[in-house]
Amino acid sequence: MSLVHLAVALTAASLALYALMMFLFARAMWRRRGKGRPPVDRAPRVTIFKPLAGWDDDLDANLDSFARIDYPSFEILIGVASADDPAYGAARRFLARHPRLDARIVLTDRDATVNPKVAQLVGLERVATGDVYVISDSNVRVPPTYLWSLVAELSDERVGMACSIFIGTGERSLGAALENLEICTHATPGLVAMDAVTDRPLTVGKSMAIRRRDIARLGGFRPVGDVLAEDHALGRRILDAGLVARTSLAAVENRNVDCSVERTLERHTRWSKMRRALFPVAFACEPIMTPIVIASAGLAIAPGKVTAAILGGTFLLQTTAAQVAVRAVRGSWLHWRYLPLEVVRSYVMLLCWARACISRRIEWRGNAFTMKRGTVIVPVASAADRSASRARLAA
């Protein structure tokens, strides 16, 4: 086989896999179109866990969306590890704006577990009163029917966990546009497609619900406190207990407004490292799911008119598919000025993938960790900590 034939075959395979993912995604979204709120026999009391750390884009407006939830009985527990955290001020303003809301701030112990988010969940669990726990990240904005969509999934007693799909919205900077495009055109379509072909779907903690009795039976949140991908670990524990996980196609917004390209690179490099630690074989194959990357490699190994034409056609096809995906999840087209960004996104995500191949160190929530297999995280001592330790030993 000549190099040209190899380049054509690899690009064709990549396009076929990409098309299959988009087909499964589009079919699922189309089937949901026009469906109203699913019928639910009862509305169990819900506790919403909101672990906050630092400042996220549109944090005040994100919190306000939870005050507009239409559901008969729920409480909001806002976890903050320190009153000095900027998120603490946002939480207090939220409570002041909505004094009739059943909501309160809980100061949590940041040292309860290695994973700082799980440490907050452990603290919030102690005071929760709901029969259903809903965990929602700080950069999430929700519709009024949010809780109904998750409770409806849990109305089936076989279901132990329900996760919402999420869409990136609000971009005003290049970094935010890249972030939102990745979410809308790759992360969410991949999540929905995976849900369609396996009975062990990915469980993503951006927005997830679990019954109080089920999490208690599994020992609470503390057993997953030493891993970075606590959402994946909880999902596996639920599945191993004989329950199933469901993905709700009622989307929540993941707000990314003014973030920098550097922050987007850091976040997606961290996510790539997580996937490498969880699914090393699938991680190694990830680039083939981006036809632009494969077609570019084809042109590099076999320069010529044929491979150049294939790359041009691939640019057009993938960019069009990305626009359609954004329209499907957000209800509106991506602004015209971002049309070329799908090409840029493809190469940026390849860079994140490559960075994940050479390092296991991550920076998250102001902490440095080394990540091991299964996303087990080990704190990395700072230079000051190491100096203090050497001084104690010398003394």
- Which two structure tokens, joined as six digits, stand for 154? 């849990």
Residues 6+ apart with CB under 8 A from 268: 179, 182, 348, 349, 352
Tens digit of pLDDT for each residue in 354-370? 999 999 898 877 789 99
HEC profile of 221-285: CHHHCCECCHHHHHHHHHHHCCCEEEEEEEEEEEECCCCCHHHHHHHHHHHHHHHHHHCHHHHHC
pLDDT of residue 367: 81
287 closest CA partner among 356, 377, 231 = 356
**Total Cβ atoms within 10 A of residue 115:** 26
Q: pLDDT band at 293, cuts 50/70/90? A: very high
The Cα–Cα gap between 333 and 352 comes to 26
The Cα–Cα gap between 352 and 57 comes to 22
Tens digit of pLDDT for each residue in 256-276? 999 899 999 999 999 999 999
Which amino acid, one-letter code, is at 63? L
Residues 6+ apart with CB under 8 A from 370: 360, 361, 362, 377, 378, 380
Binning the chain into helix, strand and coil, the percentages to the nearest 5 are 55, 15, 30
pLDDT of residue 287: 95
Tens digit of pLDDT for each residue in 227-245? 999 999 999 999 999 999 9
- Residue with the bigger pLDDT between 204 and 76: it is 76
**In DSSP terms, which residues pair with 80 in a beta bridge?**
52, 107
With tokens 């994940």, the residue in question is: 356
Percent of the chain with pLDDT over 70: 94
The yes-or-no verdict on residue 223 having pLDDT over 70 is yes
Contact between 217 and 105 under an 8 Å Cβ cutoff? The reply is no
Q: Phi/psi class of residue 170: alpha, beta or left (left: φ > 0; alpha: ψ in -120 to 50)?
A: left
At residue 72, the 3 state secondary structure works out as: coil
The Cα–Cα gap between 25 and 189 comes to 5
166 closest CA partner among 210, 205, 118, 209 = 205
Q: pLDDT band at 188, cuts 50/70/90? A: very high
The Cα–Cα gap between 324 and 315 comes to 14
Helices 305-330 and 341-358 pack at an angle, to 10 degrees, of 100
Contact between 90 and 63 under an 8 Å Cβ cutoff? The reply is yes
Tens digit of pLDDT for each residue in 28-76? 888 776 555 556 778 999 999 999 998 888 999 999 999 999 999 999 9
- Phi, psi at residue 110, to the nearest 5°? -65, -15
Arithmetic mean of pLDDT over the chain: 90
pLDDT of residue 35: 59
pLDDT of residue 198: 83
Contact between 343 and 179 under an 8 Å Cβ cutoff? The reply is no
120-129, 285-294, 379-388: segment of lowest average pLDDT: 379-388
The Cα–Cα gap between 144 and 219 comes to 32
156 closest CA partner among 29, 39, 34, 33 = 39
Q: pLDDT band at 395, cuts 50/70/90? A: very low
Residues 6+ apart with CB under 8 A from 196: 24, 27, 28
Question: Does the predicted model carry a pTM greater than 0.85?
Answer: yes
Q: pLDDT band at 77, cuts 50/70/90? A: very high
